[in-house]
Amino acid sequence: MAKTVLITGANRGIGQQVARVLATQGWDVLVGARDRKKGAAAAKRLREDTGGRLRAVELDVTRDGSVMAAARALRDGAIKLAALVNNAGIYGSAGPAQTLETNFFGALRTTEAMLPLLVDGGSITNVTSSLGAAGNLDAGPRAELLAIVERDALAEHVRALVRAQGRGWGTDAYGASKAALDQLTRILARELAPRAIRANATDPGWVRTDMGGRGAPRTIEQGGASVLFGVTTECTGGVWRDGERID
Ligand SMILES: NC(=O)c1ccc[n+]([C@@H]2O[C@H](COP(=O)([O-])OP(=O)(O)OC[C@H]3O[C@@H](n4cnc5c(N)ncnc54)[C@H](OP(=O)(O)O)[C@@H]3O)[C@@H](O)[C@H]2O)c1
């Protein structure tokens, strides 16, 4: 039977590329998109391009109601996920709180909602950035972050940073959001090991998308392949680029 993957923010960019490749490989692909029309258009486009099985799922990772509704719809459809790719992300103009909300809390919220639907032996891939490498943080924030071993404590830590308007981040909000996402990945890997669910963070590198801009050195195919490693690897708990462990 075909495996099912849910990819957030898959209506364009790297998420769409990951959807394209997995559809070509025979996966049933759920194209997560916060805008229903954009999601439907992307799923249609990819069905035409690949001949694969893709359908849109409306999912705004920053809204509890949206994420819960998506999880309910999948549950009611008796859909089980073999893979979840937390790809949705923002960079730049939206401001620190919204950046943390989307890039960190969005992945946490989606993961928690989808965990009951994830099969034992499945995978969670969090799309990160080298800007979030723990090595970029100042020593104090780095030690504090890496010492956190539970999801709730990590969420509280990030909420406190938002309340403090960034004092203590040790980097900008985007870097902080991805550093926290990497730590969430390590926590999930340990927590879900008894169910053989693998959790990895994968960095696409600097890629020519709307986010990366035209001057980025990497193609969308290269970025997508780097992310896809998280779906296929037997490893867990790592941060990877192009299949090489970077953190
Ligand atoms: N491009 C790079 O150089 C680069 C480098 C390192 C890491 N990354 C990471 O790779 C991931 C994908 O980036 P990209 O370059 O493909 O970016 P992109 O082209 O800007 O696409 C971002 C995607 O995320 C979606 N999104 C944003 N906020 C969302 C929300 N609240 N709920 C659901 N979806 C939401 C967007 O949906 P809309 O169309 O509705 O806006 C879009 O589909 C991100 O996590 C990013 O941080 C990118």
Q: What is the DSSP string of 172-222?
A: -HHHHHHHHHHHHHHHHHHHHGGGT-EEEEE---SBSSTTT-TT-SB-HHH
How many whole angstroms from 194 Cα to the centroid of ligand 1?
31
CATH class of 4-130+196-242: alpha beta
* CA distances (Å), origin 194, targets 126, 184, 191: 20, 17, 7
| Protein residues whose CB sits closer than 6 Å to any atom of ligand 1 | 8-9, 11-15, 34-35, 38, 60-62, 87-91, 102, 106, 127, 129, 203-204, 206-207, 209-212, 216
| Ligand 1, atom 23: closest residue by C-alpha | 9
What pLDDT is recorded for position 239? 98
pLDDT in tens, 176-225: 999 999 999 999 999 999 999 999 999 999 999 999 999 999 999 999 99
pLDDT tens digit sequence for 132-175: 998 889 899 999 999 999 999 999 999 999 999 999 888 899 99
Q: Which residue from 6, 8, 11, 14 has its CB within 8 A of the most atoms of ligand 1, so it is best to mutate? A: 14
Within 10 angstroms of residue 88's Cβ, the number of other Cβ atoms is 25
The 10s digit of each residue's pLDDT in 41-60 is: 999 999 999 999 999 999 99
- Asked if residue 61 lies in contact with residue 88, where contact means CB atoms within 8 angstroms, the answer is yes
107 near 188, Cβ under 8 Å? no
What digits encode the pLDDT tens for the residues 98-143? 999 999 999 999 999 999 999 999 999 999 999 999 888 989 999 9
For residue 2, the tally of other CB atoms under 10 A from its CB is 12
Where do the domains of the chain lie? 4-130+196-242
